[in-house]
Amino acid sequence: MADGDAHTAQIALKIKAPRATSGWVRTLRSLPIVPTSILLFVLVLPAIAPQLLALHDPLEVHVPERLSPPVLFGGTWEYPLGTDQLGRDIYSRLVHGARGSLLVALTTIFIGGSVGVALGFVAGYFGRWLDSFLMRMVDVSLSIPMILLALTFAVALGPSFGTIILVIALSLWAHYARLVRGEVLGLRDRDYVARAKVAGASHLRIIGRHLLPNVINTITILATLQVGQVIMMEAALSFLGIGIPRPQPAWGRMISDGRQLIASEWWISFFPGMAILLVVMSLNLFGDWLRDHLDPKLRQIL
Amino acid sequence: MWWYLAKRLLQSLATLFVVSFLAFFMSRISGSPVDALLPVDAGQEEADILIAEWGLDRPLPVQYLTFLGNALQGDLGEALKWRGQSALGLVLERLPATMTLAGAAILLGLVIAVPLGVISAVKKGTWIDRVAKVIALLGQSLPEFWLGIVLIWIIAVNLGWLPTSGTGGLSHLVLPAITLSTTLVAAITRLTRSAMLDALDSEFIKLCRVKGVRERRIIWVHALRNAVSVPLTYFGVLAGAILTRTVVIETVFAWPGTGSLVIEAVLGRDFAVVQAAMIVFVLVFIAANLFVDILYAVIDPRIRVE
């Protein structure tokens, strides 16, 4: 169904004459409904106001009700998705886990993205040895396995929020730097840049006023597509026990908590995984939509 | 082509140099390297030996050179958790298991994804294309460690078709390899599909058709040969990603490779082993990329001429 919607939207976009004035209305109408609602209800709303959606305190232990099954499998509405080995409500833990995931994703993409974009501009605009040096660093950064870097940091610094943000941001910046550099290289020698120079514009003004608006769409698309990837990275790190520290509920950690009980109490691991799957899949679909909408020529690159 | 390869080799050395610097820096960042490299209950005597051996009482640049010199001789320090064993030795001992797993996943991924990508490009818009699209989307969005657990639950526990974890025959390899290959399948399917669409649209394919070459030969020989260089370009990166993911997958399936060794090392706060694993993984990644560069030149004659 979502696929159909996206398809119709694409056709609508193709038919559309030069950008209509009511662009915003059209944009909203062409939003892929299913992924957008999943994102809203599984990720964004729980992250903003978990106390409104949760039924219990995510850390509250109910020993008598431990390992009770989900509602359709012999459980009660008191714990709709069942409880874990300490009797904590899985549903409420999922709701409260969204904030950590989203927070890590937004922070790391903001930090990694800003650094990468800035370095990409420096490399593409100023060129010469700075360019070769920075691109060398990009290659190095892309060849360091993120999980091993995270494990090394975790041993050296101890696991914490700061550590995962640092590690993930370190593994993200290179993608932005490479992308922006490529775009800037293509734009740098355009006539309007030369004219701005003649008119006496400073480097900073040329970058901010004339180049940035041309690459901002590309950056936005990359950032959107990366939210899902980062949520997955964070979940993997939490699964390995070096992500979001206890007792804060995290989806990846919940999966590892239920690992040994999968044969009998499957719901402990199953639902957090479904949450990740739904959110990441929706983010991918949403990112594809955004890419098609903002910049069709990127379809090949990203 | 030789010039091209020499340049790549030089670049790889630069990468290794930076990684060694990073590894050194990490061991010093946590305060005294004596704390990072020795167990908590180590006595002053052991600390003195370590300080003497690694020159820890000398200035930092000298320490780095000592570290680099030792590393070049294959000495990355002694493991803490496994007393008396060298960190590098431990990592290398477990590497074959990891390579087997990664190799199986890559093979499986290629066998599934390349034909799937080709068919979905040829039958664009049909149900096969749609199925391929869904598979690619799922492969991109499934958390692998969770998929592994779910496969253990359904296939190993409930259906009893395959063993849940550990090593043994080929049957132990199936589930972890499938799990590990999902992202690769997704990526290669997408890349092959779009490259095939481009290739099928090109002039030389039209010429083949005019000449009356059989359709099957056009698709699987002429078009595929031109399309395959695109997924190949990404193959080095993807192989690196696969290698990294073995850490998680090995943990899920109790596969006795480098990945599970690293996790044990992290739990035992064994910095030397984690560091050695990072350096070895980067080395393997670099080797994989060089291999791809060579393969690339073999498949695509345009590179050879340049």
Inside any domain, residue B21:
no
Inside any domain, residue B23:
no
pLDDT tens-digit series, residues B25-44: 777 765 566 666 666 666 77
Cβ distance A300 to B130 less than 8 Å, yes or no, reads no
Cβ distance B248 to A236 less than 8 Å, yes or no, reads yes
pLDDT score of A296: 58
Strand partners, B86: B78
Inside any domain, residue B5:
no
CA closest to A140 among chain B residues: B15
Please report, for residues A91, A93, B149, B200, the alpha-carbon distance to residue A268 in angstroms, rounded to integers and kept in the order given. Answer: 10, 11, 11, 48
pLDDT score of B282: 87
Domain assignment of residue B264, given as a range: 90-299
A296 vs B282, more confident = B282
Cβ distance B30 to A263 less than 8 Å, yes or no, reads no
In contact, B232 and B296? CB cutoff 8 Å = yes
Of B244, B260, B288, B238, the C-alpha closest to B15 is B288
Q: Is the peptide bond before A247 cis (omega within 30 degrees of 0)?
A: yes
pLDDT score of A22: 60
Inside any domain, residue B197:
yes
Q: Whole-angstrom Cα distance, residue B178 to residue B144?
A: 10
Inside any domain, residue B48:
no
Closest partner CB to A155 (pick from B15, B194, B266): B266
Q: Whole-angstrom Cα distance, residue A104 to residue A241?
A: 16
**pTM for this model (two decimals):** 0.84
pLDDT band at A302 (very low <50, low <70, confident <90, very high): very low
| Domains of chain B: total | 1
pLDDT score of A62: 80
CATH number of the domain where residue B226 is located: 1.10.3720.10
pLDDT band at A281 (very low <50, low <70, confident <90, very high): very high
Inside any domain, residue B292:
yes
Check residue A68 and report its DSSP letter: P
Is the ipTM here above 0.90?
Answer: no
Mean pLDDT of B162-188: 84
Mean pLDDT of B194-219: 84
Inside any domain, residue B53:
no
Residue A298, chain B, CB below 8 Å: the answer is no
Q: Whole-angstrom Cα distance, residue B260 to residue B172?
A: 16
- Give the lowest-confidence range in A14-28, A258-272, B14-28: A14-28
pLDDT band at A234 (very low <50, low <70, confident <90, very high): very high
With a CB-CB cutoff of 8 Å, which residues 207-246 of chain A face chain B?
228, 232, 235-236, 239-242
pLDDT score of A111: 96
B33 vs B49, more confident = B49
